[in-house]
Amino acid sequence: MANYNLINEKDPKLIEECTPWNWETDGEIAELGRDMLKVMFEHNGIGLAAPQIGINKRVFVMGNPTQSFICVNPEILSGTGEAKEQEGCLSFPGLWLHVNRFETVQVRYQDILGKQHEREFSGLVARVFQHEYDHLNGICFVNKVSKLSLDMATKRRKKFLKRK
């Protein structure tokens, strides 16, 4: 089992476009998936994308210890509704931002065996899916809010980190 860790929020790997997972050239993905879930649970996260541990592949995990998904080569087919809720990100500890997302998304992804799934998600799961999907395109949640919101949240973050 490889020992992965979260990369720094300023690492250029976080703003790179990720390439699809290819079973023929990249090999098995089960072990990476397990390693990613381990990192996510260690940090009490509910989602983690491969670039956050320095791997620029289109893979993310989400869920909790009783129910978790490994999503490979995910796509968002369509989205409806709008929801603005507070989000955090394991790459930016202590930073909380209100981000606009679709309320419901229709998605497609492959599982660790390469089998394709089409699903509809709403609420928190839809939000996590969209957040992690953005990571695969080099987009972090700090890029989804106004400069004013980000400045205010950054001030709150500094106070929060000082208190820790």
Nearer Cβ to Zn ion (91/110): 91
Catalytic residue among 28, 85, 87, 132: 132
Nearer Cβ to Zn ion (89/112): 89
The DSSP annotation for 45-96 comes to: -SEEEGGGGT--BSEEEEEETTEEEEEEEEEEEEEES-EEEEE--TTSTT--
Touching Zn ion, residues 60-99 (CB under 5 A): 89
- Tokens 């919101």 belong to residue: 149
Nearer Cβ to Zn ion (89/105): 89
Known catalytic residue at 120? no
Nearest approach in angstroms of CB 24 to Zn ion is 29
Where does residue 115 rank: exposed (0-12), middle (13-18), buried (19+ CB within 10 A)?
A: exposed
By the rule CB under 5 A, 6 interacts with Zn ion: no
Catalytic residue ranges: 132
Which residues contact Zn ion by CB under 5 A? 89
